[in-house]
Copies of this chain bind each other. A is one copy, B any other.
Amino acid sequence: MKIVLIGSGNVATHLGPALIKAGHDLIQIVGRTETNTALLARKLNCAYTIAPSKISDKAEIYIIAIRDQAIEKYAKFIPSKAKLVLHTSGTVSMNALAASGIPFGVLYPIQSFSIRRKIGFSKVPLCLEANGPHAHKRLTKLATSLSNNVHWISHEHRKIIHLAAVFANNFSNHLFVLAEELLKKKGMSFDLLRPLIDETASKVQKYSPSEMQTGPAKRGDSQTIEKHFALLKNKPHISKVYDILTKSIQDHDGPLL
């Protein structure tokens, strides 16, 4: 299918190659800044523009993969003879695309994309939503060409997934940041924790995280918890995080102190 991709950030940078790999004809990249957009267009060997008014009218599908706040604005520039317009946001309603006047929907990939890392798109869960049978049909064809893991998800549910993903990805990464900081302050390398983090994630690929919970909070080991607070006494900021998460584990499934 002929596709125009609007965006040059993390999502677009990963979606672009995935579209080409799936055999689609990516005819144009639309970006905000000359440098990023030209770079991505060259990598994908296709045309580009940074002027919304110059969006090509030759495509069947338009994918808007940009920050939430700008989606509605770009929807207005989608050519009226197009067959489908999509956004890729975890939080925005598909109705933000209604102004386009054409069939619309959502293709939200549950993944954390970084410019630096390549990701095999075929296993990324895709959350889909469509405003009617025309959008439904084309979106099904597009999504199944990209991934084996597609789900029809309402806006209400998609918002919950996005929130849960913040816990699973953004917040857990921040805990790694705090752990790295504790080690670095004493001149130790984060390498010491890398196998542990790898195993922590591997465990929950098969089991439920609730079955895999271990540690002083879970087993009600108040002596160790007190020792940890003592180590953190000059770091009130990290101590606060320790406190809340310890209490949260105990409220959930551990014995109370």
Contacts and interface: CB of A to CB of B under 8 A. Distances in A.
Interface residues of A, number: 91
B171 A203 contact: no
A163 B177 contact: no
Contacts of A197: 168-169, 172, 201, 204-205
B178 A204 contact: no
Most-contacted residue by chain B among A151, A200, A244 (CB, 10 A): A200
Contacts of A151: 192
Contact of A112 (B127, B156, B199): B199
A144 interface: no
* A interface SS class: helix
Most-contacted residue by chain B among A160, A176, A198, A241 (CB, 10 A): A176
A123 interface: yes
Contacts of A178: 164, 167, 248
A225 to B, nearest CB: 9
A39 interface: no
Interface stretch (A94-102, A130-138, A206-214): A206-214
Nearest to A90: B224
Which 9 residue pairs spanning A and B have beta carbons closest together? A170-B215, A201-B201, A176-B209, A172-B172, A164-B179, A167-B179, A168-B179, A164-B182, A171-B245
